[in-house]
Amino acid sequence: MQTQVRSFILKDDGEIPNNPELPVIVYEGIFRDNPNGIEATFNRYNWSGNWTGGVYDYHHYHSNTHEVLGVKTGKATILVGGDQGERLELNAGDVVVLPAGTGHKKIESSDDFEVVGAYPAGAGYDLRQRDPGLRAQSLAEIRNVPVPETDPVYGDSGPLLEKWNK
């Protein structure tokens, strides 16, 4: 199976902090042949606290943990990084890892769009939006989120560990 992995850094847009050090990582088609295996794979590599559903249609981010989203069914356009960020066209079998602070929202999706979400070591997550009053606190929290010990798709190796090596 051909899988393309790409990554990119998003800049702070003044409202959505994003992550100044860690890139977003997109594993295109990694579970194309077995989208029902996404949750078990995340769990195997200690990305847990799983939930299944959609993606909010407003910009939000998590200042206290990283997040992985695996597209189980359907397709969607997700905007990451704020209003001037990157548009991701995600399809069943795709996985995207969002470093702490990365803004994301759903722009549009098919009716059957569903993702599996998880966090390193099942971390609890906060839900932040554009809020100048929480900006300094959010920036400090984002800097203190540790790099996970495993890649959610490959475990003890893989693109996350290579690209997030501080």
pLDDT by residue (tens digit) across 38-85?
999 999 999 998 899 999 999 999 999 999 999 999 999 999 999 999
Map out the domains of the chain as residue ranges.
4-147
Cα-trace Rg, the chain: 15
Examine the pLDDT at 166 and tell me if it is beyond 80: no
Alpha-carbon gap, residue 27 to 58, rounded angstroms = 23
3-state secondary structure of 160: helix
Examine the pLDDT at 86 and tell me if it is beyond 60: yes
- Please, are residues 65 and 119 in contact by the beta-carbon 8 Å criterion? yes
pLDDT at 3: 72
pLDDT at 132: 86
- Model confidence at 1, in pLDDT bands (50, 70, 90)? very low
Alpha-carbon gap, residue 139 to 93, rounded angstroms = 32
- Report the side by side order of strands in the sheet with 95-98: 4-8, 24-28, 95-98, 67-73, 114-120, 47-53
> Whole-prediction pTM value?
0.95
- Model confidence at 91, in pLDDT bands (50, 70, 90)? very high
Q: Tell me the average pLDDT across 11-31.
A: 96
Q: What is the pLDDT of residues 109-159, one digit of tens each?
A: 999 999 999 999 999 999 999 988 999 999 999 999 999 999 999 999 999
CATH number listed for the domain at residues 4-147? 2.60.120.10
pLDDT at 2: 55
The dihedral sign for the CA sequence 126, 99, 58, 85: positive
